[in-house]
Chains A and B, each alone.
Chain A
Amino acid sequence: MRQRDENPARFHTTCWGLVAEAAQGDREGQRKALGQLLTQYLPALRAHLIHGKGFQPDVADDLVQEFVLSKILQKDLIAQANQQLGKFRTFLLTALDRFLINRARDARAKKRCPDDGVQQEIAAQAECRQAGQEPSKAFARAWAHRVIRAGLDRMRLECEAAGRPDVWGLFECRVVGPILEGAPLPHYRQLVERFKLQSPRQAMNLFITAKRMYARCLRSVIAEYAGTEQEIQTELVDLWNVLAQG
């Protein structure tokens, strides 16, 4: 199985709680909160630049880094975020897009002088969006991927803590591996052998326990940035829609 690069603790504080801490906390609190926020959102911003805007990965890395330095750190962007105005990730994405437009404008102004190439690419990419792809789709996909991974990590930890490696094991090899890792689907016979299942009823009960546990973990991850039950459901539907539409 692929080595996971996500830390399940990343979602342990609510997103808006982190935003408030990053904007108004003491210096140490601000630093920590900002660190956690960036860890949560930067991969999705990077995905937006690469898959939504068509930048080369190294250029996307440079842009994200510059965005963090010039907008988030120097201009205190986080302090302007307002929960009443919508999702934090939409706020962040809008800020990134504006940043790109400004960069493109700068690049056009600099066309008279020699350029490093990156500026040219920014100008070109910002001016022509990729046909048929919503600019935020890659971002939402990356976010969905991250949320799913966090839910799975949480489930795995819960199973370990509860002494139920069978619940995680069955879910991992029958669902997670084939869907997320491209692993072959293990045959029912292999599951019976590996998990010493006494009957199909036990197999199904184990699977349903796993699925319910995963659903609860996934919802708890989303609950940390979507406040109410209705917002959690809306977020699930939004993420599902963006993925199901391909």
Chain B
Amino acid sequence: MEDQGSFGIAPWRLASMLDLEAEGKGLWQSDELGAVLQHQLAARWDAALGAPGAVSAGGFPEPAPQDAPIGSVADLLSHPHPPVEWLERLKEFAKDCHRNPDRTLPDEVTAVLYLLSIVVARIKCPRRISRLDDQSLRYSLDWALSQPWLDATSRKIFKEGLEACTAEIPRRMSAECG
């Protein structure tokens, strides 16, 4: 039975109120990861990724006039012709989050964002914006697809990415042999 201490509070719980160093790490629980990812995907691009105006100030190309505007990360990922610069920005954002000691996003969510950016770039642009080799990418996509909190849209993108990786192996083999 848990020791409830002098005030009906377990001492170890009280001790956590003296742990002043731990910043954002571990703030969100595993059952909240799906909600955090959804919020990140749906948030306005500027609010989600950086200071307002950062994208246009960076000289990013706007989507073609006939295409839908990009207001959020979800818009970018579902866009028929996503500008590769925006996907690269998303990839860099995910990397920065991972490096940031304040952990703006949980590691699992930044990993999914990172993978979404490189898979969408590869399928729709089509460009490789990462140095991940196919074997590593497949391994990462398998991991992402095994996450129970992953949403249906991201799951679909990852499955397409997995198919693209797998389809490229015979092509590359025949090119190397030929």
Choose the segment among B100-108, B118-126, B162-170 that binds chain A (4+ C-beta atoms closer than 8 Å).
B100-108
The reply to whether A188 and B28 contact each other, CB–CB distance below 8 Å, is: yes
The reply to whether B9 and A201 contact each other, CB–CB distance below 8 Å, is: no
**Interface membership of A154, Cβ < 8 A:** no
Complex partner residue of B35 from A141, A174, A187, CB under 8 angstroms = A187
**Interface membership of A198, Cβ < 8 A:** yes
The reply to whether B47 and A240 contact each other, CB–CB distance below 8 Å, is: no
**Interface membership of A161, Cβ < 8 A:** no
Report the minimal beta-carbon distance from B74 to chain A, rounded to whole angstroms.
Answer: 12
Report the minimal beta-carbon distance from B80 to chain A, rounded to whole angstroms.
Answer: 25
**Interface membership of B39, Cβ < 8 A:** yes
Q: In the complex, what residue of chain A is closest to B40 when comparing beta carbons?
A: A200
Q: How far is the CA of A204 from the CA of B105 in the complex (A)?
A: 8
Contacts of B109 in A (CB 8 A): 200
The reply to whether B24 and A200 contact each other, CB–CB distance below 8 Å, is: no
Contacts of B31 in A (CB 8 A): 187
The reply to whether A204 and B27 contact each other, CB–CB distance below 8 Å, is: yes
List CB contacts (< 8 Å) of B41-61 with chain A.
43-44, 47-49
Q: How far is the CA of A215 from the CA of B19 in the complex (A)?
A: 9
**Interface membership of A218, Cβ < 8 A:** yes
Report the minimal beta-carbon distance from B41 to chain A, rounded to whole angstroms.
Answer: 10
Q: How far is the CA of A218 from the CA of B16 in the complex (A)?
A: 13
Q: In the complex, what residue of chain A is closest to B36 when comparing beta carbons?
A: A200
Report the minimal beta-carbon distance from B169 to chain A, rounded to whole angstroms.
Answer: 36
Contacts of A219 in B (CB 8 A): 20
Contacts of B13 in A (CB 8 A): 179-180
A-side residues, CB < 8 A to B, are: 47, 50-51, 138, 141-142, 144-145, 148, 174-175, 179-180, 182, 185, 187-189, 192, 197-205, 207-208, 211, 214-215, 218-219, 236, 239-240, 242-246
The reply to whether B11 and A148 contact each other, CB–CB distance below 8 Å, is: no
Give how many A-B residue pairs fall within 8 Å (CB-CB).
112
Knowing A179-B17, A187-B32, say if A199 contacts B40 (CB, 8 Å).
yes
List 6 tightest A-B contacts by C-beta distance, closest first.
Answer: A243-B15, A199-B43, A215-B20, A188-B32, A198-B47, A243-B11
The reply to whether A201 and B14 contact each other, CB–CB distance below 8 Å, is: no
The reply to whether A144 and B14 contact each other, CB–CB distance below 8 Å, is: yes
Contacts of B32 in A (CB 8 A): 187-189
Contacts of A240 in B (CB 8 A): 15, 18-19
The reply to whether B40 and A244 contact each other, CB–CB distance below 8 Å, is: no
Contacts of A182 in B (CB 8 A): 8-9
Contacts of B27 in A (CB 8 A): 174, 204, 207
Contacts of A201 in B (CB 8 A): 43, 47-49, 104-105
Which of B7, B24, B36, B48: most chain A CB closer than 10 A? B7
| Tally of chain B residues near chain A (CB < 8 A) | 38
Contacts of B104 in A (CB 8 A): 200-201, 204-205
Complex partner residue of A198 from B6, B8, B43, CB under 8 angstroms = B43
The reply to whether A204 and B18 contact each other, CB–CB distance below 8 Å, is: no
Q: In the complex, what residue of chain B is closest to A243 when comparing beta carbons?
A: B15
The reply to whether A141 and B5 contact each other, CB–CB distance below 8 Å, is: yes
Q: How far is the CA of A211 from the CA of B103 in the complex (A)?
A: 14
Complex partner residue of B102 from A202, A208, A215, A218, CB under 8 angstroms = A208
**Interface membership of B12, Cβ < 8 A:** yes
The reply to whether B48 and A199 contact each other, CB–CB distance below 8 Å, is: yes
Contacts of A50 in B (CB 8 A): 6
Q: In the complex, what residue of chain A is closest to B48 when comparing beta carbons?
A: A199
Knowing A179-B9, A192-B39, say if A199 contacts B16 (CB, 8 Å).
no
**Interface membership of B133, Cβ < 8 A:** no
Q: In the complex, what residue of chain B is closest to A198 when comparing beta carbons?
A: B47
Report the minimal beta-carbon distance from A13 to chain B, rounded to whole angstroms.
Answer: 23
The reply to whether A188 and B36 contact each other, CB–CB distance below 8 Å, is: yes
Contacts of B29 in A (CB 8 A): 185
Report the minimal beta-carbon distance from A221 to chain B, rounded to whole angstroms.
Answer: 12
Contacts of B11 in A (CB 8 A): 141, 242-246
